[in-house]
């Protein structure tokens, strides 16, 4: 069965890019453009992994993560931060990985694969 | 030290008798009995008093008068027989301090010597004072030059903060009004400043330093570093305070620019990273589309790459606008044409995002003096901002952006831009024109509205904003028909804000 990834990013182009990369590599993808929508998607879709932007209008990445981990059914979903913000690796220390924009596709896919295996 | 006396007398016996008598009065006495001796003594020694017995030799007079001319401090006492005294007086006039009749009365000689001694001391003192006075005058000139030419503003103020003296640089930039109040001259205020360093120095006698913004007589504002010091009178009381202000405007401007450059780098790098990622995405989609022979995907990816290229181009242009001062190229432009040029790109944008765009341009607006490239870019920026506000709002079903153009009071043009988008809270409203402020997350650079606002301001215009969270915003932009007197330079490097 295909693994499902939820992509949360306020930039439509980045969202589309991530979705295309994941789909082309055999994953199922759902997307959200900000935290509130992301939380709703997580509840509805129960993804196996979430990629999360840090700076977005509305709630920013760390606040989304806090809300996510407050829900029993969602708190164990691994989260990978993908951000262009300086120091993003310190913004969410519990993330399984923190990747800088612009990212290396192969490296991202390898991290995603590892995270899903664990 | 004993006073030196030269006794000129060809009568050797008479001279020796006098020498003996005068030596007893604690003088050092030398005798010259011939013209050769006189010349040798006068050429080689300094004398306090010369006692000359005239009539004994006819050449003494001219030699003595010449010597007196070059040595004005020497005191001459003339001795002469009774029938020659008048002739001696005519010859020496006031060059001699006393005339004594020969044979000399000892009391008269004592008095003459004392008088000559006193006169010599008096003249020496006067001479010394004159020399000191000259030194003082020179020093005064030096200090005056220092006061006038020192490269900072100097003013001296009394307890009422009235200026009692100022230097050349101060007069040049703030006028030469002596007696004016410091706060009037420096700050164009009607009352003293709250924390005045001069007042503080009058209170505690210490030097105080502050940084102030002062306004010159031409209305120019300068950042100055001000230092004060007390000036005390003979009783040690503080009579006046000297205030020295160094103009640090250029340093401050440089500092602001460096700070904003730092901010720009930080702000830009985030935006640039987002754009590069999106560009990567476009290229990936394009490659994948070509690999899979998926025409639809290729078309979509091409659009995405094109969109990103436009975005990067816009951002680079904004950075360039910000980084460099530019001359505004004013031209007389038909207002309607200007408005239509602005409407064109926004019509395409609103159509793409399903936003209703209503345009209302009044008739007979007439021409307006603007730099059309800048003005159009600024108005497009305000409209794009309205579109973004709609895109960020997910609560309203149907989004609208409005653009109306009309005259205001026959003085200029009023552009009104409305949207029913996300709206702004008070903080966003206050900061919206501040450099690098953005409420759009990674989508904004914080340069667009800052530059747009500057463009309106440099055209002598103003921007009013009404906004409410969840209801939308209204931007009312006024620009005059004619270009303003000082509005020729856009300096993007100046600090942001309203």
- Chain B interface includes A14 (CB < 8 A): yes
- Taking the model in full, what pTM does it have? 0.45
The pLDDT score that the predictor gives to residue B495 is: 39
Q: Exposed, middle or buried: residue B466 (CB in 10 Å: 0-12, 13-18, 19+)?
A: middle
Q: pLDDT tens digits for A30-73?
A: 999 999 999 999 999 999 999 999 888 788 888 899 999 999 99
**For residue A40, which residues of chain B lie inside 8 Å, CB to CB?**
none
Q: Which residues of B touch A26 (CB under 8 A)?
A: none
Residue with tokens 């008479």: B14
Is residue B391 less than 8 Å (CB to CB) from chain A?
Answer: no
Q: Report residue B485 as tokens.
A: 């007197």
Chain A and chain B share a number of CB contacts under 8 A equal to 72
Q: How many helices (H) and strands (E) does chain A have?
A: 4, 5
Contact A85 B443 (CB under 8 A): no
Give the closest residue to B432 by CA, choosing from B451, B456, B405, B418.
B451
Task: Specify the pLDDT at position B450.
Answer: 78
Say yes or no for a CB contact (<8 Å) between B442 and A18.
no
How many residues in chain A?
118
Provide the pLDDT for residue B449: 81
User: In A, which residues are within 8 Å of B304 by CB distance?
Assistant: 13, 16
CB atoms within 10 A of CB A24: 15
Q: Which of B262, B268, B269, B280 to mutate to test the interface with A (most CBs of A within 10 A)?
A: B280
Predicted local confidence at residue B112, as pLDDT: 93
Complex confidence, ipTM: 0.83
Tell me the average confidence (pLDDT) per consecutive run of 10 residues in chain B, 498 residues long. 89 91 91 89 90 73 89 92 89 91 91 91 90 92 90 94 93 87 88 90 94 86 92 93 92 72 65 85 92 91 85 75 68 91 87 90 89 86 89 85 90 93 79 64 64 85 90 92 68 40
Strand partners, B31: B7
Mutation target to probe the B interface, by most B beta carbons within 10 A, among A17, A26, A106 is A17
Q: Which pLDDT does position B74 carry in this prediction?
A: 92
Q: Using an 8 Å Cβ cutoff, are A49 and A25 in contact?
A: no
Count of C-beta atoms within a 10 Å radius of residue B69: 9
Q: What mean pLDDT comes out for the span A77-104?
A: 86
Which site among B266, B270, B279, B385 would you substitute to test the A interface, given the most A Cβ atoms closer than 10 Å to its Cβ? B270
> What is the DSSP secondary-structure string of B174-239?
H---TT-BHHHHHH--SS--SS-HHHHHHHH----EEEEEEE-TTS-EEEEEEEEEEEE-TTS-EE
Separation CA B16–CA B26 (nearest Å): 16
Q: Is A18 on the interface with B (CB under 8 A)?
A: yes
Is the CB of B281 inside 8 Å of chain A's CB atoms?
Answer: yes
* Token pair listed for B57: 């030799």
Radius of gyration for chain A, computed over Cα atoms and rounded to the nearest angstrom: 13
C-alpha separations of B469 from A70, B89, B422, B429 in Å? 29, 112, 6, 10
3-state SS assignment for residue B414: strand
- CB distance A13–B266 less than 8 Å? no
> How high is the pLDDT of residue B313?
78
Cβ neighbours, 10 Å, residue B213: 12
Give pLDDT, residue A98: 92
User: Which long-range contacts (C-beta less than 8 Å, at least 24 apart) are formed by B434-438?
Assistant: B434/B496, B434/B497, B435/B260, B435/B263, B435/B264, B435/B322, B435/B495, B435/B496, B435/B497, B436/B260, B436/B263, B436/B264, B436/B267, B436/B496, B437/B496, B438/B267
For residue A21, list chain B residues with Cβ-Cβ distance below 8 A.
Answer: 284
Of B266, B274, B439, the CB nearest to A14: B274
DSSP 8-class letter at B3: P
Long-range contacts of B94-99 (CB under 8 A, 24+ apart): B95/B64, B95/B65, B95/B68
Contacts of A14 in chain B (CB under 8 A): 274, 277-278, 281
Q: Is A44 exposed, middle or buried (0-12, 13-18, 19+ CB in 10 A)?
A: exposed
């Amino acid at each position: 069965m295909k693994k499902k990834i939820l992509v949360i990013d306020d930039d439509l182009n980045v969202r589309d890019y991530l979705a295309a990369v994941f789909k082309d590599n055999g994953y199922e993808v759902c997307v959200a453009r900000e935290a509130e929508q992301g939380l709703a998607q997580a509840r509805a879709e129960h993804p196996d992994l979430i990629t999360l932007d840090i700076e977005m209008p509305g709630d920013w990445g760390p606040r989304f993560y806090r809300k996510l981990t407050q829900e029993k059914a969602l708190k164990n979903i691994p989260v990978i931060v993908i951000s262009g913000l300086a120091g993003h690796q310190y913004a969410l220390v519990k993330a399984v990985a923190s990747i800088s924009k612009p990212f290396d596709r192969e490296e991202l896919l390898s991290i995603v694969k590892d995270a899903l295996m664990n | 030290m004993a006073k030196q006396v030269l006794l000129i007398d060809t009568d050797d016996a008479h001279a020796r008798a006098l020498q003996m008598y005068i030596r007893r009065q604690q003088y050092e006495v030398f005798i010259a009995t011939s013209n050769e001796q006189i010349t040798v003594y006068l050429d080689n020694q300094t004398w306090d008093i010369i006692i000359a017995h005239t009539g004994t030799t006819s050449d003494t007079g001219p030699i003595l008068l010449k010597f007196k001319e070059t040595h004005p401090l020497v005191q001459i006492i003339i001795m002469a027989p009774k029938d020659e005294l008048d002739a001696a007086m005519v010859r020496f006039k006031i060059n001699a301090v006393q005339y004594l009749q020969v044979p000399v009365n000892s009391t008269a000689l004592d008095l003459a010597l004392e008088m000559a001694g006193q006169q010599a001391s008096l003249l020496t003192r006067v001479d010394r004072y004159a020399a000191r006075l000259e030194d003082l005058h020179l020093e005064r000139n030096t200090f005056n030059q220092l006061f006038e030419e020192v490269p900072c503003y100097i003013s001296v103020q009394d307890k009422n903060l009235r200026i009692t003296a100022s230097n050349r640089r101060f007069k040049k930039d703030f006028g030469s009004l002596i007696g004016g109040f410091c706060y009037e001259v420096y700050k164009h205020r009607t009352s003293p400043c709250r924390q005045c360093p001069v007042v503080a120095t009058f209170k505690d006698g210490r030097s105080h330093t502050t940084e102030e913004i002062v306004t010159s007589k031409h209305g120019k504002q300068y950042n100055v570093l001000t230092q004060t010091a007390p000036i005390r009178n003979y009783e040690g009381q503080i009579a006046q305070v000297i205030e020295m202000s160094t103009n640090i405007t250029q340093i401050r401007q440089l500092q602001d620019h460096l700070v904003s450059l730092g901010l720009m780098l930080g702000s830009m790098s985030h935006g640039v990273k987002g754009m590069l990622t999106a560009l990567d995405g476009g290229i990936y989609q394009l490659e994948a589309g070509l690999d899979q022979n998926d025409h639809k995907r290729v078309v979509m990816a091409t659009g995405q790459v094109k969109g990103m290229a436009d975005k990067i181009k816009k951002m680079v242009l904004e950075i360039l606008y910000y980084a460099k001062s530019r001359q505004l190229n004013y031209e007389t432009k038909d207002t309607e044409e200007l408005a239509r040029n602005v409407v064109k790109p926004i019509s395409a944008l609103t159509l793409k995002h399903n936003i209703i765009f209503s345009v209302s341009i009044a008739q007979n607006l007439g021409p307006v003096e603007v730099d059309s490239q800048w003005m159009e870019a600024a108005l497009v920026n305000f409209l794009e901002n309205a579109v973004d506000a709609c895109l960020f709002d997910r609560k309203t079903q149907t989004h609208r952006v409005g653009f109306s153009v009309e005259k205001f009071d026959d003085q200029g043009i009023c552009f009104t831009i409305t949207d029913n988008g996300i709206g702004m809270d008070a903080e966003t409203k206050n900061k919206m024109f501040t450099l690098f402020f953005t409420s759009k997350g990674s989508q904004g650079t914080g340069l667009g509205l800052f530059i747009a606002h500057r463009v309106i301001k440099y055209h002598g215009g103003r921007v009013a904003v009404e906004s409410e969270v969840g209801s939308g915003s209204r931007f009312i932009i006024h620009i005059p028909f004619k270009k303003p007197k000082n509005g020729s330079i856009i300096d993007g490097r100046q600090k942001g804000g309203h």
